[in-house]
A and B are shown apart, each in its own frame.
Chain A
Amino acid sequence: MGGAQRPPQLHLGNWLGVLPFFLFSGLFLIGPTLILAYRSFEGLQGGLTIDNYRQLASPGVISAYGMSIRISLTTAIIGGLFGFLLAWAVSLGKLPGPFRSGTTTFSGVASNFAGVPLAAAFIFTLGRVGVVTRIVESFGFNPYESGFSLYSFTGLTLVYLFFQIPLMVLVMLPALDGLKQDWREAAEILGATPGQYWRYVALPVLMPSILGTMILLFGNSFGAHATAYALTGGMFNLATLLIGQQISGDVLHNPGLGYAVAMGMVIIMALSILIYSILQRRSERWLG
C-alpha cells in the first residue's frame, strides 16, 4: 500500500475499532471452548491430569467416535463423488443454463435444511410407514424386515447426504469454473483424448479442491447433532449425541471425561479445517 504515511498500527485508537469483536468472540466462542479445555484436565478429585484423555479409549467412547467416523467418512466419500458429478453435470456437462442456477439455489437451501425438518422429511419418506417404504412394500418386499432401518448407520448416511452433496456442489462449481477452456483445447491440439485430458490435466488440477472439500464434508458430518437427534431421539451411538447426553446428565460418570470427549471432537474438527485450508490455498494457486 503506497501513498501517504499511515499512522503506526499500534496506535491505541485503532484497537478500539476491533475491541467489540474480540470481546464478543472471547465471551461466546473462545471462552466456552477454553472452559471445556480447562475442565477436561480436571481429575475426579480435583487437580490437573490427563487421565480423562486416556479414558477416551474406553469402549463406550470408542464406539461412539467410531460410528461418527464411519458415517463421516462414508458421507464424505459418497457425498464428494455425487457432489462432484452433479457440479460437473451442470457446468462442464453442458446442461442448459437454468439447471445450473436451479442447482445452485437448491444446494444453498438443502445444505441449510439440516436438522429437524430434514429428519422429519426422511421419516415420512423412508420411515416404517413412510411413503417410499409403502411403495416398496406394495411390490411385496418389506425393507424393514430385511434389515434396513432409517435409524441405523445406513439410514443416517442416507439422510446426511442430503446436506453433504449440496455442500460439495457449492464448493466444486467455482473450482470447475476455474478450469480454463484453453487447457482443454491445448491438450486436444496436442493429441489428447478427452479421457487423457481428464486424467493428466483436469483431475490433477482439481484434486486439491476435491480432497479439501471432502475433508470439509467429513468435519461437517462429524459435528452434526440436530439431524441425528431428531432422527433417533438422541439414543444413537454417535459422538455428538454422546456429548449431548453428557450435557443433560453425567452419563459417563466422570465430568472430566465428558469435557475430554468434547475437546477430542474440537481437535478433530480443527485438524480437518486446517487440512482443508491448506489444500484450498494450493488449489487457488492453480485455479484462482
Chain B
Amino acid sequence: MTISAAPLPRAAEPPPTGAAAKGSRWPAWIILFVCALYFLLPLAATFYWSLRAEKGTLGFEAYRRLFADTGFLPAFSESIVNAVVAIFLSLLIIVPTAYWVRLRMPKLRPVVEFITLLPFVIPAVVLVFGIIRLYGRPPLLLTTTYESSRVLLVCVYAALSFPYMFRSVDNGLRAMDVRSLTEAALSLGANWVTVLRDVIFPNLRVALLSGALLTFAIVIGEFTIALFMAQHTLGPYMANLTRSKVYEPSAMAIVAFAITWASMGMIAYISRERKHP
C-alpha cells in the first residue's frame, strides 16, 4: 500500500514502497517455480500422453478403453471393498483402544504408541514376507485359498492403518477433552451406550473421517503386499497394465492421482469446517 507522508520537515528519505519495504520475495518465488516445475511436469506429461490414444487428435480414448477393460472394474471394486472393510476393522479396534488408553490406562500409552509406529519400522515387503511365512504353513495355514488370503490382506491393511488412525482419533479425543465430557455425561445419568453414541462419536466425526480417508488412499493403490499375496486388486492390475498397454497406464495414473487428490482434499475440507462439528 502506498502511504503518503505528511509534509513535515524530515531529514531522511522514506524507503521505496513495495519489494524493498517488505523484504524482497523473489527467492521464494524461484524456489516455488523450480519445485512446481519438477512436480507438475510428470503429471502434465502423463496427462498429455493419456490424451493421445487416438491418432492425430486429443481425446479421452485412453480413459474409455481403461474403463472398458475387463480387468479394471473388478480390480477397482475389489480394492474398494478391501479398503472399506479395512477401515471398519481399524475403527472398531482403534477407537475403543484410544479411548481406553486415554481414560483408563494412560500408563499403557507409550506401548500402544510404539506398536502403532511398527508399520513405519517394518517395510511392506518385509511384512508380507513374514505374513506369508507365518500363515503359509501349518498350524496357521491360511494362504491356500484366494478368499482366505484376501482376509489376511484386509487384516494387514487394517494394521497398516493403525499409525494414522490412532493419531487421528487420539488427537480428536484430546481436542474434545474426552475425560471431562465423559464425566459430565455420566454424572448427568447417562449410561455407556449413550456416552459413546451421543457424546464420543459425534465429536469424533472429523477425526474418524480423516483417518478413514487416509486409510482409503493408502489401501486403494497398495501394491507390494497385494502382489506377493497374489491378489487381484488395483495395484497389481496397474502394474500389469504398464507392461501390456501403451496409453491406458497413463489414464490409470491420472485417475489414481485424482482419487488420491479427492481423498486428501476431502480431509482438508472436513478439517476446515471443524468449527461446528
Cβ contact of B29, chosen from A14, A21, A95, A125, cutoff 8 A: A95
Q: Is A109's CB under 8 angstroms from B49's CB?
A: no
Given A117-B257, A262-B126, A124–B49 Cβ distance below 8 Å? yes
Given A88-B28, A117-B253, A25–B159 Cβ distance below 8 Å? yes
Binary A-proximity of B211-228 (CB < 8 A = 1, otherwise 0): 000000110011110011
Cβ contact of B228, chosen from A95, A101, A248, A259, cutoff 8 A: A248
Determine the distance from Cα of A76 to Cα of B158 in the docked complex, in whole angstroms.
28
In the complex, what's the smallest C-beta–C-beta distance from A231 to chain B, in angstroms?
A: 10
In the complex, what's the smallest C-beta–C-beta distance from B96 to chain A, in angstroms?
A: 6
Given A86-B32, A230-B242, A273-B121, A33–B130 Cβ distance below 8 Å? yes
Q: Is B159's CB under 8 angstroms from A109's CB?
A: no
Is the C-beta of B58 less than 8 angstroms from some C-beta in chain A? no
Is the C-beta of B119 less than 8 angstroms from some C-beta in chain A? yes
Given A9-B107, A112-B260, A247–B129 Cβ distance below 8 Å? yes
Is the C-beta of B83 less than 8 angstroms from some C-beta in chain A? no
Name the CB-closest residue of A to B50.
A124
Determine the distance from Cα of A131 to Cα of B39 in the docked complex, in whole angstroms.
15
Is the C-beta of A156 less than 8 angstroms from some C-beta in chain B? no
Most B CB contacts (10 A, CB to CB) among A28, A34, A39, A259 go to A28
Binary B-proximity of A126-147 (CB < 8 A = 1, otherwise 0): 1000111000000000000000
Given A18-B105, A29-B127, A219-B120, A93–B27 Cβ distance below 8 Å? yes
Complex interface: chain B residues within 8 A of A104 (CB): 268
- Stretch in B65-73, B131-139, B197-205 touching the partner: B131-139
Given A28-B155, A94-B23, A266–B126 Cβ distance below 8 Å? yes
Given A25-B115, A121-B43, A109–B257 Cβ distance below 8 Å? yes
Q: How many residues of B contact A (CB 8 A)?
A: 81
Determine the distance from Cα of A102 to Cα of B158 in the docked complex, in whole angstroms.
29
The majority secondary structure among interface residues of chain A is: helix
Cβ contact of A246, chosen from B29, B129, B221, B235, cutoff 8 A: B129
Determine the distance from Cα of A116 to Cα of B104 in the docked complex, in whole angstroms.
43
Complex interface: chain A residues within 8 A of B156 (CB): 28
Q: How many A-B residue pairs have CB under 8 A?
A: 249
Name the CB-closest residue of A to B101.
A18
Interface residues of A in 181-237 (CB under 8 A from B): 194, 219, 222-226, 229-230, 233
Which B residues are within 8 Å of any A CB, using their own CB? Answer: 22-23, 25, 27-29, 31-32, 35, 38-39, 41-43, 45-46, 48-49, 92-94, 96-97, 99-101, 104-108, 112, 115, 117-134, 155-156, 158-159, 162, 217-218, 221-224, 227-228, 235, 238-239, 242-243, 249-250, 252-253, 256-257, 260-261, 264-265, 267-268
Beyond A116-B221, A116-B235: 12 further Cβ-contacts under 8 Å? A9-B104, A24-B158, A24-B159, A29-B162, A36-B133, A86-B32, A94-B28, A105-B265, A112-B221, A125-B41, A243-B126, A270-B121
Which A residues are within 8 Å of any B CB, using their own CB? Answer: 1, 9, 14, 17-18, 20-22, 24-25, 27-36, 39, 82, 85-86, 88-90, 93-95, 99, 101, 104-106, 108-110, 112-113, 115-126, 130-132, 161-162, 165, 194, 219, 222-226, 229-230, 233, 240, 243-244, 246-248, 258-259, 262, 265-266, 269-270, 273
